[in-house]
Amino acid sequence: MSTFQAPKGTYDLIPPNSATYLAVREAIAAPLKNSGYGYVETPGFENVELFARGVGESTDIVTKEMYAFETKGGDKLALRPEGTASVLRAALEANLHKGGNLPVKLWYSGSYYRYERPQKGRYRHFSQVGAEAIGAEDPALDAELIILAHQAYRSLGLRDFRILLNSLGDKECRPVYRAALQEFLRGLRLDEDTRRRIEINPLRVLDDKREAVQEQLIGAPMLRDYLCEACKTYHEQVRELLTAAGVAYEDDPKLVRGLDYYTRTTFEFVHDGLGSQSAVGGGGRYDGLSEMIGGPALPSVGWALGVDRTVLALEAEGVTLDIPAATSVYAVPLGEEARRVLFGKVTELRLAGVATDFAFGGKGLKNAMKSANRSGARLALVAGERDLAEGVVQLKDLASGEQTPVALDAVVEEVRRALG
C-alpha cells in the first residue's frame, strides 16, 4: 500500500463505483443537451476577487470555506467553490452575450472545493453538473431549468425528492424587507458572528440551521409579504408553468440559499433519505451578478446539482442503475501465435464498436477464464494452436458455457450476431 492517502474530506472515484457517477453526470446532462445548452469548461481556480464579489463577502463560502492562495507571481487566486461566477466570467470574457441570441445557455460538469467539516454527503472536494441561462428575464426560463432538473432526476429513477420554491424579490422590494428583517433581528439574543451578519446580509440569518436561532425566528417578517407587484406576478407565472408541466413543488418562504447573488426565483431539490445533508441541488435567478463582476446588466438563472449527493439519494431509495458491462468480449490466447492472431481480432472488434478486452500478461487458460468472467463480458474468444491450424477460434458464451468454432474471417460478424 502507498504511504500516501487522499487528503481529508476528499475521495477517489474508482471502478466499478465510478461508472455510477458517470451515469449520473450523463443523465443530468442529457435533458440540457436536448434543450439548447452548450458545454462550457472553466479553470479549477480563479481570481479570488471574482468569488468575493460574486458569491458575497459575508457568505460562509468566502469567509470560512474558500481555498485561497497567493502564487509565486503574487496573484491572489482561489480554488472554485461553485460554478456560476466562473461560467458567467467566461461568457462575458468571450462576449457570448453579444452574439445576438439571448439567452446564452450553457452547461458544465466538474469538481469544486470548500474547506468544510467533512461528513457523509459533504466533502471538501465535490462534483456538480450545472446549467446557466444568461441574458434573459423570463419566468419560462426559470421554469425550464427546474423542469429539466426534475426530468434528469426522474430519468435516474429517483422518486422521493421534493422541490422547494421561493421568491427573494428584487432591488425594488428587497431593501424594504431587509430593513424590516434587520429591525426584528436586532432584538434577538444572537452571538457576535450572527449579529455581524444582520448588518451585511440579514437574509442569511434565516438560513441558520441552529435550533436556538430558529426558535427565535418564529414571527420574523416574511419576504413574501413584502414582494412588489412585479415580483409577485413573475413568481406566480413560474408557479403556473411548473404546475402546467406536472412538476410538483412546495412553497418555502424561508428558503434563501447560501449565496448573495440570488434574486427573485430561488429553489432547492431536497431528498429526505439523506439526513442533515438533504439538499441534492438547487439554484435560482441572479439578475445582478453580471454587474457585480464588472459586466453589463444580464439577468440570468441557473442551478447546480450535486453528483455525490445524487448518488447517495439513489442508494437511499435502493435504486440500482442499469449500467452495461464495460467489456462485451474477452479474448483468451493459448500460445504465442494465438496471442498475435487474437490481438489482431481484438483491434478489429474494437474498430467495429464492440467493447473488447484481452488476457494480458501471458495467463494460463484457467486464470484467463477467471479474468474473462470477472470482466463482465458475455463472450470469450479462445484460440490455441490446433484452432489456428483449422482456421478457427472458439466463441464461448460465458453464461451457458456453450462453445462454437468460428472461422477467423467471420469473427466480427459472428460476435455481433451473438451479442444481438
DSSP string, 215-268: HHTTTPPPGGGT--HHHHHHHHHHHHHHHHTT---EE-TT---S-TT-EEEEEE
Determine how β-strand 104-113 pairs with β-strand 38-39. Answer: parallel
Any idea which fold 17-173+227-317 has? BirA Bifunctional Protein; domain 2 (3.30.930)
Give the three cell numbers for residue 237: 407565472
Segment 23-60, tens digit of pLDDT = 999 999 999 999 999 999 999 999 999 988 867 665 66
Please state which of the four CATH numbers 3.30.1330.10, 3.20.20.80, 3.40.50.150, 3.40.50.800 is assigned to the domain occupying 329-419.
Answer: 3.40.50.800
Asked whether the CA dihedral 213, 216, 221, 224 is positive or negative, the reply is positive
pLDDT of residue 56: 67
Residue 96 DSSP class:
G
Residue 227: name the closest of 283, 176, 287, 300 by CA.
Answer: 176
pTM exceeding the 0.85 threshold for the entire prediction: yes
pLDDT of residue 277: 65
Question: Could you state, in order of their start, the residue ranges of all structural domains in the chain?
Answer: 17-173+227-317, 329-419
pLDDT of residue 1: 65
Residue 306 DSSP class:
E
Distances (CA, A) of 1 to 12, 18, 280, 328: 15, 21, 34, 31
What is the side-by-side strand order in the sheet with 392-397? Answer: 356-358, 329-333, 379-383, 392-397, 403-407
List for the chain the helix, strand, coil content (%; round to 5). 40, 20, 40
Residue 36: name the closest of 171, 144, 163, 161 by CA.
Answer: 144
Segment 328-356, tens digit of pLDDT = 999 999 999 999 999 999 999 999 999 99
Give the three cell numbers for residue 414: 459472428
pLDDT of residue 204: 78
pLDDT of residue 181: 87
CA angle 342–346–350, rounded 5-degree value: 165
- Between CA 278 and CA 309 the distance in angstroms is 8
pLDDT of residue 40: 98
For residue 357, the cross-strand partners are: 330
Per-residue burial over 238-264, b if 16 or more Cβ lie within 10 Å, else e, is bbebbeeeebebeebeebbbbbbbbbb
- Between CA 223 and CA 264 the distance in angstroms is 11
- Between CA 386 and CA 199 the distance in angstroms is 85
Residue 229: name the closest of 167, 301, 302, 283 by CA.
Answer: 167
Which residue matches cell numbers 422518486? 159
Query: CB of 372 within 8 A of CB of 398?
Result: yes
Give the three cell numbers for residue 117: 467539516
pLDDT beneath 50: ranges in the chain: none
Which residue matches cell numbers 468460428? 406
Q: Is 196 helix (H, G, I), strand (E, B) or coil?
A: helix
pLDDT of residue 58: 56
